[in-house]
């Protein structure tokens, strides 16, 4: 990581025993002993920039970055423009999350040795972390020119371009980095995510298709295909994911693909498996209940909605769903209790009033049914003409019935 060339060793070679012994300790990677020896050398001669440089190097190897930074700065005061000190100082400041200050030293080092890759890469990183993306792009481009086979430079350039919303330019460099170093292949997921964020779903899917054995990639590919109204293409990917790495999300995506592909009978068992695997996932349970409802499996749906409202007693949506299923099952007392809960939660609408009136009418509670129909008409204000027509007809019938009593 640090710059310590053979030329530098010759440049800094000293005749003092402390420095000579310190160099031996450094070469042996005994950094604690090296720091002690070079500290004594500096104490003997505070202007000995060679000993000070090596003391900073030993401290950096020991993780004592603050001490090393201060010592490198002193070296540069004694020997302005010293390449190794400037480069190491810049790297340390970068490690300490001070990219703007690091950039100044790294730029000087890069300019001093314009054919060296390391200072250019570190400069680019500093500019990127400082948010200076055009400058980072320029530095990474220079690095790729110095070494077109540097995967790190290619990836850095890709990210700098991406942060400037230039995805068309970034894409080839993401791909080139992955080609040069298999360890960078996952960076293509970052490219795919950027494509998605930019509304380029087709390009994102093309990236995910490059990972046929990666569950997360195929799951996201399947989800995007569903969103693109291509469920038939999504199903094989999502079936593979569920077989290899089942999760609530993958099962949910597969069920949605089945439903959109007009195969609701295949969606239900998948949703059931998802609920059984994650019984505490209430959103999943609600979706399963609605799917059962859509398939007219009212009793099963009611059970799911009941479980849901027990866990979320303040959910108006949950009580709405339960009330509708109980009405369909002609369990009227329980349905009225569910409607009472909706009303208590402040979610009652004209539609709820109509349902209440219909239930009371069916159980021949005509007095309360009449009141409910009248409340419905007052609340409806012509927005539900069919139901309002039926309500008026029933009001006339009920009044006649009540007048006979």
Please tell me the predicted confidence (pLDDT) of residue 381: 76
Helix (H, G, I), strand (E, B) or coil at 141: helix
CA 323 to CA 303: how far, in whole Å?
12
Supply 12's token pair. 């800094």
Residue 93 scores a pLDDT above 50: yes
Please tell me the predicted confidence (pLDDT) of residue 205: 97
Model confidence pLDDT, tens digit, residues 42-81:
999 999 999 999 999 999 999 999 999 999 999 999 999 9
Please tell me the predicted confidence (pLDDT) of residue 3: 56
Surface-to-core class of residue 267, CB atoms within 10 Å of its CB (0-12 exposed, 13-18 middle, 19+ buried): buried
Model confidence pLDDT, tens digit, residues 319-364:
999 999 999 999 999 999 999 999 999 999 999 999 999 999 999 9
In percent, the amount of the chain with pLDDT more than 70 equals 96
User: Alpha carbon of 293 to those of 270, 275, 289, 349, 365: distances in Å?
Assistant: 16, 16, 6, 21, 28
Residue 208 scores a pLDDT above 60: yes
Model confidence pLDDT, tens digit, residues 282-299:
999 999 999 999 999 999
DSSP string, 282-311: HHHHHHHHHHHHHTT-HHHHHHHHHHHHHH
Helix (H, G, I), strand (E, B) or coil at 186: coil
In percent, the amount of the chain with pLDDT more than 90 equals 87
Q: Tell me the pLDDT band of 1, cut-offs 50, 70 and 90.
A: low
DSSP string, 237-265: HHHHHHHHS--HHHHHHHHHHHHHTT-HH
Model confidence pLDDT, tens digit, residues 263-283:
999 999 999 999 998 999 999
Please tell me the predicted confidence (pLDDT) of residue 37: 93
Distance of CA 54 to the CA centre of its chain: 43
Cα angle, residue 173 at apex, residues 168 and 174 outer, rounded to 5°: 90
Q: Tell me the pLDDT band of 175, cut-offs 50, 70 and 90.
A: very high
Nearest Cα neighbor of 298 from 347, 334, 350 is 334
Please tell me the predicted confidence (pLDDT) of residue 4: 55
Q: Tell me the pLDDT band of 7, cut-offs 50, 70 and 90.
A: very low
Please tell me the predicted confidence (pLDDT) of residue 15: 44
Residue 9 scores a pLDDT above 90: no
CA 372 to CA 355: how far, in whole Å?
9
Please tell me the predicted confidence (pLDDT) of residue 404: 82
Residue 10 scores a pLDDT above 50: no
Q: In which residue are the tokens 């004592």 written? A: 64
Nearest Cα neighbor of 90 from 48, 127, 44 is 127
Structural element, H or E, at residue 337: helix 332-344
Nearest Cα neighbor of 343 from 330, 331, 356 is 356
CA 199 to CA 240: how far, in whole Å?
26
Residue 211 scores a pLDDT above 90: yes
Please tell me the predicted confidence (pLDDT) of residue 81: 92
User: Alpha carbon of 79 to those of 21, 47, 49, 83, 108: distances in Å?
Assistant: 23, 10, 7, 10, 14
Considering only 91-95, 173-177, 370-374, which range has the smallest mean pLDDT? 370-374
Nearest Cα neighbor of 211 from 233, 241, 173 is 241
Model confidence pLDDT, tens digit, residues 12-47:
544 458 989 989 999 999 999 999 999 999 999 999
H, E, C per residue of 213-227: CCHHHHHHHHHHHHH
Please tell me the predicted confidence (pLDDT) of residue 14: 43
CA 318 to CA 124: how far, in whole Å?
54
Residues 6+ apart with CB under 8 A from 70: none
């Amino acid at each position: 990581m640090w710059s310590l060339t053979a030329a530098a060793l010759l440049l800094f070679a000293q005749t003092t025993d402390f420095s000579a012994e310190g160099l031996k300790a450094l070469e042996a990677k005994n950094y604690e002993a090296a720091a002690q020896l070079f500290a004594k050398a500096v104490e003997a001669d505070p202007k000995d920039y060679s000993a000070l440089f090596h003391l900073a190097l030993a401290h950096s190897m020991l993780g004592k970055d603050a001490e090393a930074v201060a010592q490198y700065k002193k070296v540069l005061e004694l020997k302005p423009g010293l390449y190794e000190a400037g480069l190491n100082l810049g790297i340390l400041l970068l490690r300490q999350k001070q990219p703007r200050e690091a950039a100044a030293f790294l730029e000087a080092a890069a300019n001093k040795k314009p054919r060296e890759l390391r200072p250019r890469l570190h400069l680019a990183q500093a500019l990127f972390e400082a948010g200076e993306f055009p400058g980072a792009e320029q530095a990474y481009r220079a690095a790729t020119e110095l070494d077109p086979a540097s995967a790190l430079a290619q990836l850095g350039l890709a990210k700098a371009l991406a942060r400037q919303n230039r995805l068309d330019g970034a894409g080839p460099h993401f791909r080139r980095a992955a080609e040069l170093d298999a360890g960078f292949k996952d960076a293509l997921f970052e490219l795919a995510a950027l494509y998605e964020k930019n509304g380029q779903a087709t390009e994102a899917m093309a990236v995910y298709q490059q990972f046929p054995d990666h569950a997360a990639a195929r799951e996201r590919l399947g989800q995007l295909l569903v969103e693109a109204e291509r469920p038939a293409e999504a199903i094989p990917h999502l079936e593979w994911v569920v077989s290899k790495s089942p999760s609530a999300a993958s099962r949910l995506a597969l069920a949605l693909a089945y439903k959109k592909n007009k195969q609701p009978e295949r969606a239900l068992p998948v949703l059931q498996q998802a609920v059984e695997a994650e019984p505490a996932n209430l959103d999943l349970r609600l979706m399963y209940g609605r799917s059962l409802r859509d398939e007219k499996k009212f009793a099963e749906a009611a059970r799911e909605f009941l479980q849901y409202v027990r866990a979320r007693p303040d959910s108006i949506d949950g009580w709405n769903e339960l009330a509708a299923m109980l009405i369909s099952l002609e369990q009227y007392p329980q349905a009225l209790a569910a409607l009472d809960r909706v009303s208590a939660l402040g979610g009652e609408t004209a539609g709820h009033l109509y349902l209440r009136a219909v239930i009371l009418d069916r159980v021949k509670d005509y007095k309360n049914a009449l009141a409910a129909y009248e409340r419905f008409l007052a609340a409806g204000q012509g927005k539900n003409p069919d139901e309002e027509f039926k309500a008026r007809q029933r009001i006339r019938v009920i009044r006649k019935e009540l007048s006979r009593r």
